[in-house]
Amino acid sequence: MIILTGWVDVDPERRDAALEAGRPHMEATRAWPGCLDYVWSGDPLNPARIYVYERWESEEALARHFEGPHYTAMRDTIGAHGIRGVEVFKYEPARQGAVYDAKGVARADFFEEA
């Protein structure tokens, strides 16, 4: 699994329009083979910031996305709204686990249920 997460800052007065214009590309990408999650959303406290969260089945699935029409369309759509900064990284998780244990308690450790 590959996770992409980060942010894109655009002109604050154009952020909501950028997200609305990107909506068709988000919907199309979610239907793309290998896409598990694809969310671009506005930060409620920073009017310029768009958070990016993507989850892909594999590097191959992500590579197909980068070569496909939806990646280019989203990049160009957001870019047309005055990009001021970008910081997006990809991760391949070494471990994963539930946040809540069987009792509903949030835990920071990687626990295993008995």
| Residue 67 CA neighbour count, 13 Å, CB half | 7
Radius of gyration of the chain, Cα coordinates, nearest whole angstrom: 16
Q: How does pLDDT run across 19-57, given as a tens digit for each residue?
A: 999 999 999 999 999 999 999 999 999 999 999 999 999
Pairing mode of beta strands 83-91, 35-42: unpaired
Residue 90, CA distances (Å) to 1, 34, 58, 72 in order: 10, 15, 12, 18
User: What are the sequence ranges of the domains in the chain?
Assistant: 2-91
Please check whether residue 18 is in contact with residue 10, taking contact to mean a CB–CB distance below 8 angstroms. yes
Q: How does pLDDT run across 62-103, given as a tens digit for each residue?
A: 999 999 999 999 999 999 999 999 999 999 999 999 999 999
| Sign of the torsion formed by the C-alpha atoms of 25, 27, 30 and 33 | negative
Tokens of 69: 């029409």
d(CA 12, CA 65): 28
Q: Give pLDDT, residue 42.
A: 98
Please tell me the CATH code under which domain 2-91 is placed: 3.30.70.100
